[in-house]
Structures are given as C-alpha cells and as structure tokens.
Amino acid sequence: MNLLEVYLYGSPILKRPTMKVGELPDHFPRFLERMYAVMYNDDGIGLSANQVGVEQCFFIADFSLHDENMQREIFINPEIVESQGIVTQEEGCLSIPGVHEKVKRAYKIKVRYEGLDRNPVEKEFEGFPARVIQHEVDHLNGILFVERISPLKRSFIESKLRRIAEKGKTQTEPIKI
C-alpha cells in the first residue's frame, strides 16, 4: 500500500479551515491506519486530516510515544473549550520539514471531541499532549505553527519556507477518504 502524501507548507489545502465530520464510511478505520503509517514514517506524534489532503475536521495522535501510560487516539470535530497557563516550547511539523521553532501554547486545556465510536468526550490534557492537540486543532482551522512566531524569527526561516512551498503550492487537490 502506498503511503499517503503529506501536504506541505504552501499548499492551499493547509490554509483552509476543515469541514465538520458528518457520516463516515465503513472503511474509515483502515484510512486511519494509513494516516498512522505516514505519521510513524516521519516520526510524528500528531497528524491532522488536511495534512494528507482530507478537508475534514479530525486528527490522530499517539501520546504513547511521549508517555507510555497514554495511548493513541483520534479526535473527531475537536474543540478546545478551556485553556490555562502559558508555556513556550519548540515545535516541528510534518508539513514543514526541517523547521523547529519555539511556540507559546496553553499549558492545560479541556477538549470536547468525538472518538471513533462517535460518542462525545470531554477531557483535560496538560503539558506535551496539550501542545500537540493545540497544534493539530490549529491545522484544522487552517493555521500553521510558523504563523505563531514573531515576524523577526519568521524572517530567519523565510527562505526555507519558500523552498518547501515550491512543492506545497503544487498540492492543490484535496482527496476523499
């Protein structure tokens, strides 16, 4: 099975807010496995649907890579309903390979979402998992982490971003699950 293609910085798909997930096809779990395959292949911890060209509001994450007591999880139609504290830490992104910058995020969040069984969940996360979730929810709203750094820092990575965008701007077609 071919790996799904990761849409890169510069793709218009990454700049468009995703659509709320409605009914999902029966083969959806298989599609998720394909997303996990791409994520692990690139050493990622989270991956949003639009990063593989699907304009729907969900993402996957595997927090066990960070904390063995946690597990992998899917967040369908996630919404951050509360946030507390601020912490600055370095982030990277599969859609912006080779770029790592410090980003300010809330330390603790409460998230409302649906799991794979589509039942509503409300859960609190803190520290690293909270950061991953905020990064992915940003993706689903068409926001990339490099938009959350200062214009000065951004100017230092501008040429790198332009190079990545050479390929990203050709990735204009969304895919269907």
Phi, psi angle pair for 42, to nearest 5°: -100, 15
Amino acid code (one letter) for 62: D
Closest distance to Zn ion from the beta carbon of 62 (Å): 14
Pick the stretch among 5-13, 73-81, 87-95, 158-166 that binds Zn ion (CB under 5 A): 87-95
Q: Considering 5, 101, 136, 166, which one is annotated as catalytic?
A: 136
Which tokens in the block code for residue 122?
């409300």
Judged by beta carbon, residue 122 or residue 147, the one nearer Zn ion is 147
Pick the stretch among 7-15, 86-94, 111-119, 151-159 that binds Zn ion (CB under 5 A): 86-94
Chain centre distance of CA 161: 18
* 93 contacts Zn ion (rule: CB under 5 A): yes
CA angle 30, 118, 64 (to 5 degrees): 60
Residue 101 annotated among the catalytic residues of the structure: no
Closest distance to Zn ion from the beta carbon of 164 (Å): 12
Question: Contact 167/21 with Cβ under 8 angstroms?
Answer: no
Question: Contact 105/134 with Cβ under 8 angstroms?
Answer: yes
* 6 contacts Zn ion (rule: CB under 5 A): no
Instruction: Provide the binding-site residues for Zn ion, judged by CB under 5 A.
Output: 93
